[in-house]
């Protein structure tokens, strides 16, 4: 699904978190979102996930204007997304398997399908042998990979990651980014918010740089071809 | 996401809307059951609170009902006893009887000869010796008046007053007085039980509501994650509603067991009381229908508490 931001603004009281933001992401693109903390990365993702509504302008996802989605339609809209959190947000009271299965259970897949898909997703992130483990017994990198498995298990159209490598060492970070690139290569639109410039500038994807709520550069599409 | 074509290696996609809905309900019910058993001590205490809160009014109500049933059985038609002045003769009393028989509202009048009355009294009280000691019969002639069945309460009182005013009548005793008192006492007991029920029900809703508030708080991160990955409010709400329903249901069952136990304990004192009124023994027992009503009330209260708690607290948990 493609994502279009058209002159989007978001105000919190007197402060502009985002101003006049315009960019387009064609379906199947992978892009990085970067900028200092407070530059508006999180706000942008929150608007995209309809955790907040825009103050001005409009966001169009897959041809649909988000302004037209009512509160009751938000859960369904979010099922098009896979979300990877910085602190992975795994539920500690259930096994790796059941954490990954959660989006499928919400979407109503049969047990057999849940089983297949969970195993496939865990296999992709290299954790098939840990499906019975409790999340707390895993290392940071493994936990993040479980989070990624959960984000992709329902085959989302758009994958969003908010600082997914924030707590990981460079080598693990590179592995995680490699996973995202792999999902992108099968047609999933991927947006990764990260301030790890050293890492993302090595990758052949567009970088959107935010500064104080405005888009500084749309580009650096070097290597896209 | 139903993006995977059927026949694909990862499965055929989600179920239909209704099948999904049923599946979610089954899952929520199962999860609630598991959690209830996993925290068995806390769950038991909550169930106990509901059980006691429902058993108390239930017990009061069924005691009052039993009492009223017994009173209804006692209702041999109410009877008035007319005691004549001592100097009134048997013939005069017989004439009064004839007159009373013609009065509207009176079904039957029986004349009790003073000598018969004394003989009966001494015989039944085992005081034959007294009869010999007494030179004269201290009892007057008397009439037992059986009013017609449609003469009740105020009508009976009026009849008593009318009969008292007749010449030669010393005193009129309305025998059903104590019955009326007992009846209004059991009526009071019933009303008290109903009031108690509403107070207790409010207590149950608040207690269970608060328990569920804590449960919601404890699962805050789970709710946030569920909302973020596309679970609707209904999905997040369902396990708590089931927990409320289940706890309430078990609370109702507990109320039934407690009522049954209390009835067992109260059985002999109640039957002793009934014996004093020449009543046959009653079995205070818990009918299946009563148990079902208790379970129904418990479940309803449980679901209400959960709904109230969820409406109040779940909406406040928003993903950040």
B169 DSSP β-pair partners: B84
Say whether residue B7 is in contact with chain A using an 8 A CB cutoff: no
Tell me how many domains chain B contains: 2
| Residues B88, B52 share a domain | no
CA distance B211 to chain A (A): 19
List chain B residues with CB under 8 Å of A100: none
Sheet holding A206-211: strands in order across? A81-84, A158-162, A189-193, A30-34, A206-211, A214-219
Say whether residue B231 is in contact with chain A using an 8 A CB cutoff: yes
| Residues B300, B187 share a domain | yes
Answer yes or no: do A76 and B12 touch at CB < 8 A.
Answer: no
Q: Which of A102, A112, A156 has its CB closest to that of B1? A: A156
Last residue of a domain, one of B127, B156, B175: B175
Residue pairs between chains A and B whose CB atoms are closer than 8 Å: 87
pLDDT bin (cut points 50, 70, 90) of residue A214 is: confident
List chain A residues with CB under 8 Å of B231: 75, 106
In percent, the amount of chain A with pLDDT more than 70 equals 96
Residue of B3, B4, B10 to mutate, testing the A interface (most A Cβ within 10 Å of its Cβ) = B10
pLDDT of residue B278: 67
Residue B240 counted as domain residue? yes
Q: Which of A114, A150, A155 has its CB closest to that of B1? A: A155
CA distance A171 to chain B (A): 28
CA distance A43 to chain B (A): 10
Say whether residue B31 is in contact with chain A using an 8 A CB cutoff: no
pLDDT of residue B7: 36
| Residues B83, B69 share a domain | no
Range of the domain at B130: 79-175
List chain A residues with CB under 8 Å of B320: 51
Say whether residue B8 is in contact with chain A using an 8 A CB cutoff: no
| Residues B285, B198 share a domain | yes
Residue B3 counted as domain residue? no
| Residues B269, B143 share a domain | no
List chain A residues with CB under 8 Å of B233: 75
| Residues B133, B88 share a domain | yes
Residue B167 counted as domain residue? yes
pLDDT in tens, chain B (320 residues): 334 333 333 345 667 778 888 888 888 888 888 888 888 888 899 999 999 999 999 888 888 888 777 777 765 666 788 889 888 888 888 888 988 888 888 888 888 888 888 887 777 666 777 767 777 788 888 888 888 877 777 787 888 888 888 888 888 887 766 777 777 888 888 899 899 999 999 999 998 999 899 888 888 888 888 888 888 888 888 989 999 999 999 999 999 999 988 888 888 887 787 777 666 666 666 678 888 999 999 999 999 999 999 888 887 887 76
Last residue of a domain, one of B175, B204, B224: B175
pLDDT of residue B242: 93
Burial A150-165 (b: 16+ CB within 10 A, else e): bbbbbbbbbbbbbbbb
Asked if pLDDT for residue A224 goes beyond 60, the answer is: no
Residue B318 counted as domain residue? no
Last residue of a domain, one of B175, B200, B233: B175
pLDDT of residue B78: 66
Q: H or E segment at A216?
A: strand A214-219
| Residues B222, B127 share a domain | no
Answer yes or no: do A116 and B1 touch at CB < 8 A.
Answer: no
Residues A17-76 have pLDDT tens digits of 888 888 889 998 999 998 888 788 888 998 999 988 999 999 999 889 999 999 888 888
Mean pLDDT along residues A160-164:
89
Say whether residue A183 is in contact with chain B using an 8 A CB cutoff: no
Residue B216 counted as domain residue? yes
| Residues B160, B23 share a domain | no
Asked if pLDDT for residue A225 goes beyond 70, the answer is: no
DSSP A125-173: TT-GGGTTS-GGGS-HHHHHHHHHHHHHTT--SEEEEESTTTTS-HHHH
List chain A residues with CB under 8 Å of B239: none
Say whether residue B30 is in contact with chain A using an 8 A CB cutoff: no
Answer yes or no: do A154 and B13 touch at CB < 8 A.
Answer: no
| Residues B188, B131 share a domain | no
Following CA atoms B100, B102, B104, B107 in sequence, which dihedral angle do they give, to the nearest 10 degrees? 70
CA distance B205 to chain A (A): 28
| Residues B168, B107 share a domain | yes
| Residues B278, B140 share a domain | no
List chain A residues with CB under 8 Å of B3: 155, 157
| Residues B187, B61 share a domain | yes
Residues A159 and B34: their CA atoms lie apart, in Å, by 33
Answer yes or no: do B11 and A113 touch at CB < 8 A.
Answer: yes
Residue B12 counted as domain residue? no
Residues A66-104 have pLDDT tens digits of 999 998 888 889 889 999 988 878 888 889 999 999 999
SS3 assignment for chain B = CCCCCCCCCCCCCECCHHHHHHHHHHHHHHHHHHHHHHCHHHHHHHHHHHHHHHHHHHHHHHHHHHHHHHHHHHCCCCCEEEEECCCCCHHHHHHHHHHHHCCCCEEEEEEECHHHHHHHHHHHHCCHHHHHHCCCCCCCCEEEEEECCCCCHHHHHHHHHHHHCCCCEEEEEECCHHHHHHHHHHHHHHHHHHHHHHHHHHHHHHHHHHHHHHHHHHCHHHHHHHHHCCCCHHHHHHHHHHHHHHHHHHHHHHHHHHHHHHHHHHHHHHHHHHHHCCCCCCCCCCCHHHHHHHHHHHHHHHHHHHHHHHHHHCCCCCCC
Residue B5 counted as domain residue? no
Q: The domain spanning residue B138 has which CATH number?
A: 3.30.70.3040
pLDDT of residue B45: 92
Neighbouring residues of A110: CB distance < 8 A, sequence distance ≥ 6: B11, B12, B15
Q: Which of A93, A106, A114 has its CB closest to that of B230? A: A106
Residue B165 counted as domain residue? yes
Say whether residue A35 is in contact with chain B using an 8 A CB cutoff: no
Query: How many other β-carbons are positioned within 10 Å of the β-carbon of residue B65?
Result: 14
């Amino acid at each position: 699904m493609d994502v279009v931001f058209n002159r989007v603004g978001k105000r919190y009281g007197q402060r502009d978190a985002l101003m006049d933001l315009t960019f387009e992401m064609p379906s199947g693109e992978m892009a990085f979102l970067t900028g200092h903390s407070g530059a508006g990365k999180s706000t942008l993702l929150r608007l995209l996930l309809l955790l907040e509504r825009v103050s001005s302008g409009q966001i169009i996802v897959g041809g649909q204007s988000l302004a037209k989605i009512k509160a009751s339609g938000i859960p369904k809209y979010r099922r098009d997304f896979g979300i990877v959190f910085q602190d992975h947000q795994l539920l500690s009271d259930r096994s790796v398997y059941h954490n990954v299965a959660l989006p499928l259970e919400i979407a109503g897949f049969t047990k057999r399908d849940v089983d297949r898909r969970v195993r496939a997703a865990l296999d992709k992130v290299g954790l098939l042998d840990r499906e019975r483990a409790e999340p707390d017994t895993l290392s940071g990198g493994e936990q993040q990979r479980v989070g990624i498995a959960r984000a992709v298990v329902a085959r989302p159209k758009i994958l969003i990651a908010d600082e997914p490598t924030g707590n990981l060492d460079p080598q693990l970070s590179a592995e995680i980014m490699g996973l995202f690139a792999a999902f992108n290569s099968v047609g999933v639109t991927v947006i990764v918010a990260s301030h790890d410039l050293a890492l993302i500038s090595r990758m052949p994807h567009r970088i959107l740089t935010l500064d104080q709520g405005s888009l500084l550069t749309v580009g650096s599409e070097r290597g896209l071809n | 996401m139903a993006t995977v074509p059927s026949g694909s290696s990862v499965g055929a996609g989600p179920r239909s809307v209704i099948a999904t809905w049923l599946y979610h309900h089954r899952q929520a019910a199962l999860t609630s059951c598991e959690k209830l058993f996993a925290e068995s001590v806390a769950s038991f205490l909550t169930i106990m609170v509901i059980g006691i809160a429902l058993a108390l009014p239930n017990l009061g109500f069924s005691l009052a009902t039993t009492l009223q049933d017994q009173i209804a059985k006692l209702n041999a038609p109410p009877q008035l006893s007319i005691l004549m002045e001592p100097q009134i003769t048997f013939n005069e009393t017989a004439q009064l009887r004839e007159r009373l028989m013609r009065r509207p509202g009176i079904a039957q009048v029986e004349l009790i000869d003073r000598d018969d009355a004394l003989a009966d009294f001494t015989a039944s009280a085992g005081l034959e010796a007294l009869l010999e000691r007494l030179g004269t019969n201290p009892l007057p002639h008397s009439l037992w008046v059986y009013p017609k069945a449609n003469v009740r309460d105020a009508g009976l009182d009026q009849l008593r007053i009318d009969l008292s005013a007749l010449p030669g009548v010393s005193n009129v005793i309305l025998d059903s007085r104590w019955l009326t008192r007992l009846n209004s006492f059991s009526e009071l007991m019933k009303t008290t039980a109903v009031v108690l029920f509403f107070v207790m029900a409010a207590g149950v809703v608040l207690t269970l509501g608060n328990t569920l508030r804590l449960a919601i708080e404890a699962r805050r991160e789970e709710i946030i994650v569920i909302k973020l990955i596309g679970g609707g409010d209904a999905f997040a709400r369902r396990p708590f509603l089931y927990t409320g329903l289940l706890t309430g249901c078990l609370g109702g069952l507990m109320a039934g067991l407690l009522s049954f136990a209390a009835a067992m304990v109260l059985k002999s004192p109640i039957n002793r009381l009934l014996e004093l009124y020449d009543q046959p023994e009653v079995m205070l027992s818990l009918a299946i229908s009563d148990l079902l009503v208790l379970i129904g009330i418990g479940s309803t209260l449980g679901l209400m508490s959960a709904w109230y708690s969820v409406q109040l607290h779940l909406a406040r948990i928003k993903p950040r």
